Amino acid sequence: MTPHISSKKEEIAKDVIMPGDPKRAEYIAKNYLEDYKLVNEVRGMLAFTGKYKGKKVTVMASGMGMPSMGIYSYELFKEYDVKNIIRIGTCGAYTKDLALKDTILVNGAYSESSYAKTQNGCEDKLLLASSPLNFYIKEAAEDLNKHLSIANIHSSDVFYKENDNFKELYRNEGCMAVEMESFALFHNANVLGKRAACLLTVTDNLVTGERLSSEDRQQGVNEMIEIALESILHYD
Ligand code: HPA
């Protein structure tokens, strides 16, 4: 038990898939896992542990933003001995080169956030995903015949900006898309010697203003869920 998670230690698997939305955690458990059980509902941040093709896995929501992702991923890594966290989320594209429904495998997360500096003095602005985990995710996508766009992305603290500087972030920092959690996840993995990765479905495009319909959104998200779940079968 931790301040934010009521599960017993053995109720959380070493591999955790983390969507932002608790309803999506429930959706994954109901549609993809066998013998699953609800193991946390503190603050509605649902976690389910079950089996995917025989392998124990936990699906737990992170909530939105780096403070929330920071809390849950830290407690999972540190108090529950979780080894691998794969975030699955949605993002807004900063370029026309990404199409709606594309799946991004995050190489690195750039952020102006103070999360890493406040956490342990780290002044890095670009934090990388675990390369072994990304390797297994690429293998899984290949097996499933799914295309991945490998990209650096922006982890933003602010969803609603009065003056969006996304063109500068694209041009100067090479950020291809925006979400709000990966930088904190990657930092915690680095600090605690664990592995973290992130898959994102492109649900909107900031250049063209296009958005996915809810049906296409679900289909895009399903593909990402399948890649994430298959990837955990690629290692012990
Ligand atoms: N901004 C931040 N996070 C997001 C967005 C966005 O436009 N779209 C999906 N996640």
Distance 191 CA to ligand 1 centre (A): 26
Close Cβ partners of 56 (under 8 Å, ≥ 6 residues apart): 13, 14, 15, 49, 50
Contacts 24+ apart (CB under 8 A), 47-54: 47/5, 47/7, 47/12, 49/7, 49/11, 49/12, 49/13, 52/229, 52/232, 52/233, 53/229, 53/233
For ligand 1, atom 10, the nearest C-alpha belongs to 91
Q: Is the full-model pTM beyond 0.75? A: yes
Please provide the average confidence, as pLDDT, over all residues in the chain: 97
Tell me the best of 62, 153, 180, 221 to mutate to test the pocket of ligand 1, counting ligand atoms within 8 Å of each CB and taking the most.
180
Q: What is the pLDDT of residue 231?
A: 98
Axis crossing angle, helix 214-231 with helix 22-32, rounded to the nearest 10: 60
CA–CA separation, 180 and 170 (whole Å):
16
For ligand 1, atom 6, the nearest C-alpha belongs to 92
Sites in the chain below the pLDDT cut of 50: none
Distance 221 CA to ligand 1 centre (A): 15
Residues with CB under 6 A from ligand 1: 90-92, 156, 159, 178-180, 203-204
Q: What is the pLDDT of residue 120?
A: 98
Active-site positions read 204
Q: What is the pLDDT of residue 236?
A: 87
CA–CA separation, 89 and 177 (whole Å):
12
Q: What is the pLDDT of residue 168?
A: 97
Beta strands in 76-194 (DSSP E): 84-93, 103-110, 126-128, 149-155, 177-179
